[in-house]
Amino acid sequence: MLNNFWEKLSQPFFALAPMEDVTDTVFREIVLSVADPVKLKLLFTEFTSVDGLCHPKGREAVIHRLLVNNSERELLNSGNIKLVVQIWGTDPEKFYSASRYISDHYDFDGIDINMGCPVAKIVKQGGCSALIGQNELVSDIIQATREGSGLPVSVKTRTGIKEHTTEQWVAFLLETGISAIILHARTQRMMSEKPAEWDQVKLAVDIRNQINPAIKLIGNGDVRNISHGLELMSETGADGAMVGRGIFADPWFFSSQVKDRRIDKNLDLLKSHIISFGNTWGNSKNFSLLKRFFKIYISGFDGAAAFRAQLMESLNTSEAVDLIEQFKSIDF
């Protein structure tokens, strides 16, 4: 396999999780702009349907998920940080075609197959976490993806459907030729409502060590901060920790400047996010998508809720930026 970056990743490391309508090129760039590249080594795209990529009209609807801004690419290169594209579906032939298309047209470092999303509409289609335990189909999907490109292939998954089947499921995945397993320490039924059970990550690591120690194993679920992530990796033996919802509590999650930041730094970061969103997407994406991010930057200080409510009424990037500048002029 060509240029398998997984083999060169030094442990322990952190990764930013793929999140729908969140981890586009704009948000990834914002995270990268304040991240310490010693801490953050790996990012993922939003998950992209192989059905969409393999259909001319469908491709138009999903291709934005694969966009990498030049400015994001510069940050990735300067920090030697890897970017992995995540895909999902059920048809091995489409996985082959989609991975070939990705390999031919984009500059990603790897391909990840989503076998973990528990959302009902996806599960009903037989995709993502519904693939857990479907060993023959999963084997065909992984093989097709590997054959379709020269990129290393990983799988992001969960510990089971209704109950933990970590031992059997991980043991099977370790024999498929993938380069890494990202294990969300919850079952499909647990969604994201119950606490992640990292003892299952430890079990997976123990199995990995017995079957194929060369395969990287990354734990995912309820990582509160860098110290907590390092503690979880130490306790379980995981090579890395993936951060999802934790980034919503702190956009500086991976930064070395956390203790030094002030309200105006968060406001400047939000302003950069809004401007980049407008420059990148123009009118092709609804401005309201940005509003889910406002609480990330505006919380924890007097007047935060009122200002956030005011920002939620803005109709475009210009209005939002003006409101930020007005708020910054207040002596707080």
Q: Which token pair is 145?
A: 């993806």
Q: Which of 108, 94, 104 is nearest to 65 (CA)?
A: 108
Catalytic residue among 42, 117, 183, 217: 117
Q: How far is CA 316 from the centre of its chain?
A: 26
- To which H or E segment does residue 155 belong? strand 153-158
Asked if 227 and 6 touch (Cβ cutoff 8 Å), the reply is no
Q: In one letter, which amino acid is 47?
A: F
CA distance 60 to 243: 29
Q: Which token pair is 230?
A: 């390092």
Q: How many C-beta atoms surround the C-beta of residue 148 within 10 A? A: 24
Report DSSP letters for 2-63, one per residue. ---GGGGPPSSEEEEPP-TTTSSHHHHHHHHHT--TTTEEEEEEEEEEHHHHTSHHHHHHHG
From the number of C-beta atoms within 10 Å of its C-beta (0-12, 13-18, 19+), residue 331 rates as exposed
Query: Could you confirm whether 117 is annotated as catalytic?
Result: yes
Q: Is residue 154 classed as helix, strand or coil in its secondary structure?
A: strand
From the number of C-beta atoms within 10 Å of its C-beta (0-12, 13-18, 19+), residue 90 rates as middle
The DSSP symbol for 274 reads H
| φ, ψ (nearest 5 deg) of residue 292 | -65, -15
Q: Which of 43, 45, 35 is nearest to 15 (CA)?
A: 43
Strand partners, 15: 42, 242
Active site residues: 117
